[in-house]
Homo-oligomer: A and B are copies of this chain.
């Protein structure tokens, strides 16, 4: 949360992902469940040495944060949204149908835009025939290559 009440969503995590690598005793971020969730905690060694596996996860998380910067730093809302959708699709295994468990507000706070902009640009993708909204929380990708292109992945 920011001092003025605004919120920056740093990441969406799906099953099997690890988060919470904050070093010190002071925590700057918090996590929220948006679907029913099970958690496992990972303890570090008493002497503070991380295992290579855990270290790798922490570094992966850092790279992800830095790559998220690339997205949020983009100027065009449509592009940001495309990257978000492609990322989500890949992590859900394939570009057929994307499940959006989060609200438009969550997406907006993740991408640094208002919910109206999220909605408008989803509509823009819809009317361009790139995707179809089965419901507001379920998206069917009709033209994956167009989406990839917008996301600068092609």
Q: How many residues on the A side are at the interface (Cβ–Cβ under 8 A)?
A: 39
A73 touches B70 (CB 8 A): no
Q: Quote the shortest CB–CB distance from A144 to chain B (angstroms).
A: 17
Complex Cα–Cα for A65 and B61 (A): 10
Contact of A23 (CB < 8 Å), options: B3, B63, B68, B72: B63
**How many copies of this chain?**
2
Contact of A28 (CB < 8 Å), options: B47, B56, B67, B74: B67
Complex Cα–Cα for A50 and B55 (A): 8
Complex Cα–Cα for A61 and B74 (A): 22
Instruction: Report if A8-B62 is in contact (Cβ < 8 Å); known contacts: A52-B49, A55-B48.
Output: no
- The residues of B that contact A41 with a CB separation of less than 8 Å are none
Instruction: Report if A55-B52 is in contact (Cβ < 8 Å); known contacts: A61-B62, A66-B65, A72-B73.
Output: no
- The residues of A with any CB-CB pair to B shorter than 8 Å are 2-4, 6, 8, 10, 21-23, 28-29, 47-52, 55-56, 58-63, 65-70, 72-75, 109, 112, 152-153
